[in-house]
């Protein structure tokens, strides 16, 4: 068996990459062939994605991949909830919005007047994030773009459509929209009806592992692919793909998928739709093979990334990622405790209102010492992330009736040794860090199975990840009193 050579497109909100994965018995490796920065663009006062630019980057990556040898399949995953609208000619209407745009401020409260929170949770099982697709559509009611829309495509499905012509909504990403009924696995059409939203724009749901179709002939020619290369629907939600590649060995493990966002939780067999889960605002997203991602969004390394951007713009000397992480080790633990999930940290920093100032404002409001230097700000963010992971994992364990004995950290944040140490310490459990490119690996694994590799289930996929990737272990060290720190959080535990 020669194995498979598969292209994984993994779109992150701050960077995208195109990787070539090789899968054969006992083999799973990735080579990055193209990486590009990504970020929302302020356009006419709103935050948008340059989706045509993203498509061009995908083509560049495909060309690189095709140049290196025959390609057996292509899969696309990316961040959730954001989408494009197509009109009846199949043309994009409007410019897709970023979920960090402020137009959904206050929308959830208006929706809850029509659909009470307990009812909404019973149907969708999702945490109330202002940017859920549901709230984005409610904010778009009455706009010309929504009026002209015939089809809504989540971004990975939109790019897949441009590559193949196929139209559909891959299930794992559909489950993040809050337009999806987690009980039936169908679109929640009566919910849309009640809110005056056009349910007819939601395309048929397709399964991760199904084939969209071959790359269009003109596109294949343009990038140098052979005919009939299949585009496979993977877990197109990046978090779904990342969780596929969490090298866990069974229950008793939790994960932190650590990228721009940190997604903190458990993999379960069935959603937890209890009143306690709703009150804790936990989400039940659908995973590959019918699993449930029972988790909470934590603001993640976005906050540090925005600080670094602000320091670079201000010409702050030596405030690189490497330097601030080294310096942060020497800042006393829990010097400043802030709630990193505070909504003020969601929008991109601006010249007038840079991210470090927002952290200082939160500290002031909570009566905490203000973090002044980049090292202090960095430590404040990392301590805050570790504290959030601790809180949410305890809550997840309680709500799901599970023990958490180890915490897997995957994604870019698994390279952040200080954050991994703090996470182990805060959670009181060993952290197993890696793989870094979990989403791309999960993408490749689901493609491989769809194209005939002997990877019957998630356990087999994870076994292959364990056998082929180095995992770094961090033990709790007694760095700080995290329990006491919880009492310093404005919202408590």
DSSP string for 207-258: -TT-EEEEPPHHHHHHHTPPTTPEEE----BHHHHHHHT----STTEEEEEE
Q: How many Å apart are CA 493 and CA 481, to the nearest integer?
A: 14
The least CB distance from residue 439 to ligand LFR, in Å, is 8
Binding piece for ligand LFR, criterion CB under 6 A, among 36-44, 101-109, 237-245, 364-372: 237-245
Q: Is 178 one of the binding residues for ligand LFR (CB under 6 A)? A: no
Nearest CA to 400 out of 487, 274, 493 is that of: 274
Among residues 104, 124, 236, 239, the one that binds ligand LFR under rule CB under 6 A: 239
Q: Which one of 10, 77, 157, 238 is the catalytic residue?
A: 238
CB of 132 to ligand LFR, least distance (A): 9
Nearer residue to ligand LFR within complex by CB, 209 or 412: 412
* Token pair 């713009």 in the structure block, residue: 313
Range in contact with ligand LFR (rule: CB under 6 A) among 73-81, 184-192, 379-387, 456-464 = 73-81
Distance CA 355, CA 375 (A): 14
**Least distance to ligand LFR from the beta carbon of 443, Å?**
13
Query: What is the distance between the alpha carbons of residues 407 and 473, in angstroms, rounded to a whole number?
Result: 10
Q: Is 80 in the site for ligand LFR (CB under 6 A)?
A: yes
Q: Answer yes or no whether residue 81 interacts with ligand LFR by CB under 6 A.
A: yes
Cα-based distances in Å from 101 to 160, 264, 313:
24, 23, 22
Residue 297 interacts with ligand LFR (CB under 6 A)?
yes
Give the chain's length.
493
473 and 431 Cβ atoms separated by less than 8 Å = yes
User: How many other CB atoms sit within 10 Å of the CB of residue 395?
Assistant: 19
If one asks whether residue 296 binds ligand LFR (CB under 6 A), the answer comes out as no
DSSP 3-state of 35: strand
- Binding-site size, ligand LFR (CB under 6 A): 12
Q: Does 259 bind ligand LFR (CB under 6 A)?
A: yes
Residue 114: how many other CB atoms lie within 10 Å: 13
Tell me the two tokens of residue 332.
Answer: 């006393």
By C-beta, is 255 or 261 nearer to ligand LFR?
261
* 261 interacts with ligand LFR by CB under 6 A: yes
For residue 476, the minimal CB distance to ligand LFR (Å) is 27
Stretch that binds ligand LFR, among 79-87, 90-98, 332-340, 478-486 (CB under 6 A): 79-87
267 near ligand LFR (CB under 6 A): no
Nearest CB to ligand LFR, comparing residues 239 and 423: 239
- In whole angstroms, the minimum distance from the beta carbon of 265 to ligand LFR comes to 11
Kindly state whether residue 79 participates in binding ligand LFR, applying the rule CB under 6 A.
yes
> By C-beta, is 4 or 301 nearer to ligand LFR?
301
Q: Is 440 in the site for ligand LFR (CB under 6 A)?
A: no
Tokens of 284: 């039940």
Rounded CA-CA distance 175/302 in Å is 23
Nearer to ligand LFR, 62 or 81 (CB): 81
CA distance 34 to 65: 9
Which residue among 159, 174, 263, 288 contacts ligand LFR (CB under 6 A)? 263
**Binding ligand LFR by CB under 6 A: which of 130, 238, 383, 425?**
238
Q: How far apart are CA 191 and CA 176, in angstroms?
A: 15
Closest CA to 49 of 37, 60, 61: 37
Is residue 135 within the footprint of ligand LFR (CB under 6 A)? no
Q: What is the DSSP string of 94-149?
A: S-PBPTT-GGGTTHHHHHHHHS-HHHHHHHH-----TTSHHHHHHHHTT-HHHHH-
Name the one range near ligand LFR by CB under 6 A: 74-82, 87-95, 205-213, 214-222.
Answer: 74-82
171 counts as binding ligand LFR under rule CB under 6 A: no
**CB nearer ligand LFR, residue 80 or residue 191:** 80
Q: How far is the CB of 386 from ligand LFR (least distance, A)?
A: 19
Q: Which residues have C-beta within 8 Å of that of residue 133, sequence separation ≥ 6? A: 81, 82, 83, 152, 154, 176, 177, 178, 179
Q: Is 238 a catalytic residue?
A: yes
CA distance 181 to 185: 6
Q: Which of 133, 172, 260, 416 binds ligand LFR (CB under 6 A)?
A: 260
Q: Which stretch binds ligand LFR (CB under 6 A): 113-121, 256-264, 311-319, 349-357?
A: 256-264
108, 195 contact by CB (below 8 A): no
Residue ranges in 92-121 that form contacts with ligand LFR under rule CB under 6 A: 99
Among 58-66, 203-211, 260-268, 458-466, the segment contacting ligand LFR (CB under 6 A): 260-268
According to the binding rule CB under 6 A, does residue 262 interact with ligand LFR?
no
User: Residue numbers of the site for ligand LFR (CB under 6 A)?
Assistant: 79-81, 99, 237-239, 259-261, 263, 297
The catalytic site residues sit at 238
């Amino acid at each position: 068996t020669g194995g498979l050579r598969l292209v994984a497109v993994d779109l992150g909100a701050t960077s995208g990459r195109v990787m070539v994965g090789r899968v054969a018995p006992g083999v799973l490796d990735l080579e990055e062939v193209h990486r590009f920065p990504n970020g929302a663009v302020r356009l006419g006062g709103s935050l948008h994605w340059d989706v045509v630019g993203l498509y061009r980057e995908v083509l560049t990556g495909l060309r690189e991949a095709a140049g290196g040898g025959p390609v057996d399949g292509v899969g696309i995953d990316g961040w959730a909830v954001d989408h494009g609208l197509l009109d009846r000619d199949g043309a994009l209407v409007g410019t897709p919005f970023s979920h960090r745009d402020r137009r959904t401020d206050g929308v959830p409260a208006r929706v809850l007047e029509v659909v009470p929170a307990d009812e909404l949770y019973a149907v969708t099982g999702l945490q109330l994030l202002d940017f859920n697709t549901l709230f984005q559509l409610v904010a778009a009611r009455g706009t010309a773009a929504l009026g002209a829309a015939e089809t809504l495509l989540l971004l990975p499905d939109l790019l897949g459509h441009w590559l193949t012509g196929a139209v559909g909504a891959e299930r794992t990403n559909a489950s993040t929209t809050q337009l999806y009924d987690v009980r039936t696995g169908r679109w929640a059409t009566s919910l849309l009806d009640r809110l005056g939203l056009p349910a007819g724009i939601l395309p048929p749901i397709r399964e991760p592992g199904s084939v969209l179709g071959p790359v269009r002939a003109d596109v294949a020619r343009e990038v140098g692919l052979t005919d009939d290369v299949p585009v496979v629907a993977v877990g197109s939600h990046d978090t779904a793909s990342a969780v596929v590649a969490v090298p866990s060995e069974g229950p008793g493990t939790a994960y932190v998928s650590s990228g721009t966002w940190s997604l903190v939780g458990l993999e379960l067999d069935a959603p937890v739709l209890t009143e306690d889960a709703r009150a804790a605002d936990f989400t039940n997203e659908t995973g590959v093979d019918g699993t449930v991602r029972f988790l909470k969004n934590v603001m993640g390394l976005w906050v540090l990334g925005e600080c670094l951007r602000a320091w670079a713009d201000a010409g702050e000397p030596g405030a690189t990622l490497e330097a601030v992480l080294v310096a942060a080790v020497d800042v006393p633990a829990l010097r400043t405790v802030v709630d990193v999930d505070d909504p003020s940290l969601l929008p991109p920093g601006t010249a007038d209102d840079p991210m470090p100032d927002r952290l200082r404002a939160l500290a002031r409001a909570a009566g905490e010492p203000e973090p002044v230097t980049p090292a202090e700000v960095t430590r404040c963010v990392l301590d805050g992330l570790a504290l959030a992971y601790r809180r949410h994992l305890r809550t997840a364990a309680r709500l799901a009736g599970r023990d958490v004995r180890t915490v897997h950290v995957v994604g870019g944040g698994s390279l952040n040794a200080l954050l991994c140490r703090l996470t182990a310490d805060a959670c009181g459990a060993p952290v197993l860090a890696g793989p870094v490119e979990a989403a791309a690996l999960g993408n490749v694994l689901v493609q491989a199975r769809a194209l005939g590799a002997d990877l019957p289930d998630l356990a087999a996929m994870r076994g292959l990840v364990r056998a082929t990737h180095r995992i770094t272990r961090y033990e709790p060290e007694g760095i700080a009193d995290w329990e006491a720190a919880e009492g310093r959080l404005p919202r408590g535990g």
